[in-house]
Amino acid sequence: RSLCDWSSDVCSSDLINDSIFKANVAAEEVALNPFIPNLTVPVALKQGQISLSGSVSVTQLLQGDKFNFAGLKGNGNLRLAVNNQSNINSEFTINNSIFKANISAGEVGLNSFIPNLTVPVALKQGQINLSGSLFQLLQGDKFNLAGLKGNGNLRLAVDNKDSINSDFIIKDSTFKATVSAKQIELNPFISNLTVPTVLKQGQINLSGSLSQLLQDKNLNLAALKSNGSIQLVTNNQSAFNSQFSLQNSQLMLTASSDLSRLPINSLLAQFPNQQFLPQALEVKGNAKFQGVLSVTNLQLKGNLQLDNFSFNDRQFEPRLQGTVKIDPSKAISINLQGKQDIIAAAIKPCTYTH
Cβ contacts of residue 290 below 8 Å, gap of 6+?
253, 254, 255, 302, 303
Distance CA 250, CA 220 (A): 13
DSSP 230: E
Pairing of strands 174-185, 161-171: antiparallel
Question: Residue 3 above 50 pLDDT?
Answer: no
Q: Taking Cα atoms as reference points, which of 5, 83, 101 lies closest to residue 44?
A: 83
pLDDT in tens, 47-88: 999 998 877 655 655 555 556 667 788 999 999 998 888 789
Quick one: how many helices (H) and strands (E) in the chain?
4, 21
Cβ contacts of residue 170 below 8 Å, gap of 6+?
130, 148, 149, 150, 151, 210
Spatial contact of 311 and 336, defined as CB atoms under 8 Å apart:
no
Distance CA 160, CA 111 (A): 12
Please state, as a whole number, how many other Cβ atoms lie within 10 Å of the Cβ of residue 246. Answer: 20
pLDDT in tens, 13-50: 555 555 677 888 898 889 998 988 888 888 999 999 99
- Can you give the pLDDT at residue 227? 95
Please state, as a whole number, how many other Cβ atoms lie within 10 Å of the Cβ of residue 65. Answer: 5
Distance CA 77, CA 103 (A): 10
pLDDT in tens, 143-190: 677 778 999 999 999 999 999 999 999 998 899 999 999 999 998 887
Greatest C-alpha distance within the chain: 94
Distance CA 34, CA 193 (A): 42
pLDDT in tens, 313-339: 899 999 999 999 998 888 889 999 999
3-state DSSP assignment of residue 137: helix
Quickly state the pLDDT bin for 7 (edges 50, 70, 90): very low
Quickly state the pLDDT bin for 141 (edges 50, 70, 90): low
Output the CA angle 283-287-293, nearest 5 degrees.
115
Q: What are phi and psi of 259, to 5 degrees?
A: -60, -30
Distance CA 332, CA 288 (A): 19
Spatial contact of 307 and 285, defined as CB atoms under 8 Å apart:
yes
The CA-atom distances, in angstroms, between 165 and each of 158, 162, 180 are 11, 8, 5
pLDDT in tens, 85-133: 878 999 999 998 899 999 999 888 888 888 888 899 999 999 999 999 8
Question: Residue 140 above 90 pLDDT?
Answer: no
Beta bridge partners of 130: 101, 150
Distance CA 164, CA 185 (A): 12
Cβ contacts of residue 37 below 8 Å, gap of 6+?
none
- Can you give the pLDDT at residue 6? 42
- Can you give the pLDDT at residue 10? 47
Please state, as a whole number, how many other Cβ atoms lie within 10 Å of the Cβ of residue 64. Answer: 6
Q: Which amino acid is at 276?
A: F
3-state DSSP assignment of residue 227: strand
pLDDT: which is higher, 242 or 348: 242
Beta bridge partners of 279: none
pLDDT in tens, 263-319: 877 767 766 666 666 667 889 999 999 999 998 888 999 999 999 999 888 999 999
